Amino acid sequence: MDDTIDPPTPPLPSTPPSSSTAVAVRIRAFVEVVLCSDFPTQLIVIQVLAWIGLHPLLDNGGLSLTYVATLSLVDAAALIALMFWLMRRRGESAREAFLGARPIGREARLGILLVPGIVLFVLVSLLLIQRFAPALHNVAVNPLESLLETPRDIWIFAVVAIVAGGLREELQRAFILRRFEQHLGGARVGLVVFSIAFGAGHLLQGWDAAIVTAMLGLVWGIVFLARRSVVAPLVSHACFNLSEIVRHVAVTEWVAG
């Protein structure tokens, strides 16, 4: 037996990723957040709609429901497809990321149970703003409410509220929160940043609406992070949007009657 044979070389310990690799990972995550912020996709869809001759305003100066619905639904489809594509490139499971391990039915019931509390929260928040900061109510009439003139308009807008409001926004929120949690400073940072951006996206409806919307985004983001499933916030968000449509229709009919 030859005693001169060297013993097997032990495996080298794994080395942590270099700082340059970590920076590259963060840059990639940041680029994905920007791409899925809704601004790039919406700008592209707006350009396409202009190219085919669709315009946001009618001859009387009001918003066009056809334009708003087309923009919202096409943008929602494009953004959801983009998020799924980016996740697939990373080898991530969309089902695991968006649905987690909780039963879908139970999460949907939780989302429905959250709706009364959400409605009460919005009502109290708006009353407090009206009482202590009335200047924040700088838009007398929500321009989107002018789109609800006929039963057909109401049904179309309801679809937009569910798909572009509930589905797209909650998938987007979950995607961005996960990117912040993994690479960009943590879920809390993402929660604050995206809630502010979520509210800013509703400035068309007034400062008060934007502030309340930002707080709603915070609530739905907390629910997602706690449950690790988009189902409850998605159902809650969609049902809240539908309740706002029902409220507007009921008030309009009451005033007209």
**pLDDT above 70: residue 94:** yes
Neighbour-count burial for 21-50, b at 16+ CB within 10 Å, e otherwise: eeeeeeeebeebbeebbbeebbeebbeebe
Residue 7 within any structural domain of the chain: no
**pLDDT above 80: residue 21:** yes
Diameter of the chain by CA atoms?
106
Which of these, 169, 125, 161, 122, lies nearest to 144 by C-alpha position? Answer: 161
Q: What is the pLDDT of residues 187-207, one digit of tens each?
A: 999 999 999 999 998 888 889
Tally the domains of the chain: 1
pLDDT in the model for residue 240: 96
Angle, helices 169-183 vs 231-256, to 10°: value is 140
Residue 5 within any structural domain of the chain: no
Domain with 141 in it? 20-98+105-256
| CA separation for the pair 257, 253 (Å, rounded) | 6
For 157, counting Cβ atoms within 10 Å of its Cβ (0-12 exposed, 13-18 middle, 19+ buried), the class is buried
Tell me the three state secondary structure of residue 7: coil
Residue 223 within any structural domain of the chain: yes
Q: Quickly state the pLDDT bin for 16 (edges 50, 70, 90).
A: low
pLDDT in the model for residue 6: 45
pLDDT in the model for residue 5: 47
Q: Which helix (H) or strand (E) holds 86?
A: helix 65-89
Asked whether the beta carbons of 111 and 231 are under 8 A apart, the reply is yes
pLDDT in the model for residue 255: 72
Residue 10 within any structural domain of the chain: no
Pull the structure tokens for residue 124. Answer: 């109290």
Pull the structure tokens for residue 57. Answer: 């305003």
**pLDDT above 60: residue 7:** no
Residue 2 within any structural domain of the chain: no
| CA separation for the pair 216, 235 (Å, rounded) | 14
Name the average pLDDT for the chain.
90
Higher pLDDT, 169 or 61: 169
